[in-house]
Structure 1
Amino acid sequence: MRTATRSTSRAASAMVVAAALALVGIQAAGATASAATPKASPVTCTSANTKVTVTEVSRPINHLLLKATNTGSKPCFAYSAPFLRAGADAQAPLAWADETVPQAVLTLEPGQSAYAGITTYSPDGEGGSTVKTLGVLFSTRDGHAINPEKTLKLPHGGVFFNSAGTVTYWQNNAADALAW
């Protein structure tokens, strides 16, 4: 009888210890979950929270690549396509290439980038001139430009643009931005 009591006593003690450990684990998990910071609400990408660069690409010809990197502390939405002004005297932004509309708005986490391909000219285009700068404005959710404009210097001291110049919508990788 004494052995049965010891076994029952040990089993009961083990169950008490297991229950206590489980309770501590649940409390610790609850503390961890409540201490976690809530995910930041995305904001619109602007020249204030996004670094923009432009580079020449070898293929396809007559193209540039625009890269926007979120430098802020919150995710940002890269809406539609950038408004681009080729040269300081440009009267209107480059046309958006409608066939490049993505399926969803791009959300850039801090440090992530979006890309837009720029066609500078085509033999079918009219007129044109060599320009030294590219003005970049981001877009709002409803397709309006957001100030202030970021002015970038173009490679090689200038790039030729004509009336066929276009820009893609923001893409999540450079290959898609240059694929059209």
Structure 2
Amino acid sequence: MRSNRVRTTALAATALLAALSLTACGSENGTSESAKAGSAAPAAHQAVKESRPRAATAAPEEKPTDTGSTPEKATGTGSTPENTTAPARSHGKNTTGSTKRAGSGSTTDRTPDRTPVTCDGGNTRTAVTRVSRPLNHLLLTLTNTGDRTCYAYYAPALRFDDAQAAFPVLDDSKPQAVVTLDPGQSAYAAIGLTGEPGAGPSPRKASRLQVHFSARSGEGSTGTPVSLTLPSDTYWDDNGFVTYWQTEMADALTY
């Protein structure tokens, strides 16, 4: 009984010693680890401090060197134009464009006058021809050769050779309106050379015919007259006539 207690006590003592031994070992290890940890911490802190970059020392500000010149204005090529002379004032005149010469024919300079005029020898061409029908008739053809419309008023005033009086006008041939001729158009007048046979003086031979153009008022003639050479063997008497100007040849030759 006693021996069991002693054995139990011995076992308990042995266990206690073992526990104390383990505690001491653990304390020693714990102190060592803590010391290591404690000693490592300052070293790490020092390493962090040394790894931080030093603040860069600001370089002193450089002042631009004064060369005494004014900075040039920037251009596309970086160079200064050689010609710095200010442009001359034009005072309202075009100094760069060409000057339009007078008489250049430009429509902006002058608009052609298209106002109608009276037909006369200056803007028309007049011709006289013999016709087969009616008998003893001539035909006057008046053509506008100008660049403006012209009016052929009334009837032409005719004189054969050196006759003193104008040839009679046939009033029955008066048209309803004044004959108007655009450039290139023609008007017509028939000349009946003689009247009824034996009704007056004998017919006279003529070689020249003067044509005068009636004025708008109907009083006298206007413009330039025309002198025409008559067809050979042309005879006339005081009983003949001339018609008014007509727009159609057939209308003139109906009389």
- Provide the C-alpha distance between the structure 1 equivalents of 2:201 and 2:246, rounded to a whole number of angstroms: 28
Q: Is the 8 A contact 1:101 1:169 kept in 2?
A: yes
Partners in 2 of 1:126 and 1:97 — Cα distance?
19
Q: Retained in 2: the 8 A contact 1:137–1:145?
A: yes
Asked if 1:71 corresponds to 2:145, the answer is: yes
| Alpha-carbon distance in 2 for matches of 1:147, 1:76 | 12
Q: How many percent of aligned residue pairs carry the same amino acid? A: 49
Residue 42 of structure 1 pairs with residue 125 of structure 2 = no
Structure 2: segments with no counterpart, 5+ residues: 1-110
Higher normalized strand content (fraction of residues): 1
Partner of 1:91: 164
Using the alignment, how far apart are the partners of 2:211 and 2:200 within structure 1? 22
Is 1:148 the counterpart of 2:224? The answer is: yes
Moved segments of 4+, more than 4 Å: none
Structure 2 residue 245 is matched with structure 1 residue 165: no
- Mapped partners of 1:81, 1:71: distance in 2: 19
TM-score (norm 1): 0.75
Looking at structure 2, the residues matched to 48 and 106 of structure 1 have their Cα atoms a distance apart, in angstroms, of 18
Shift of 1:39: 8.6
Partner in structure 2 of residue 8 of structure 1: none
Paired AA for residue 224 in structure 2: P
Report whether the alignment pairs 1:119 with 2:195. no
SS at match of 2:176: coil
**What is the rounded CA distance, in whole Å, between the counterparts of 2:242 and 2:249 in structure 1?**
13
RMSD: 1.5
Write the distance in 2 (CA, Å) between the matches of 1:125 and 1:73.
45
What is the TM-score of this pair, normalised by structure 2? Answer: 0.53
Flag structure 1 segments of 5+ consecutive residues without an equivalent.
1-36
Larger radius of gyration: 2
> Which residue is equivalent to 1:12?
none
Q: CA deviation at 1:146?
A: 1.7
Report the Cα offset of residue 38 of structure 1: 8.8
Instruction: Give the superposition deviation at 1:148.
Output: 2.9
Post-superposition offset of 1:86: 1.2
Q: Counterpart of 1:145 in structure 2: which amino acid?
A: S
**Who is 2:207 aligned against?**
132
**Contact 1:127-1:163 at 8 Å conserved across structures:** no
Residue 53 of structure 2: aligned partner: none
Q: What is the deviation of 1:147?
A: 4.3
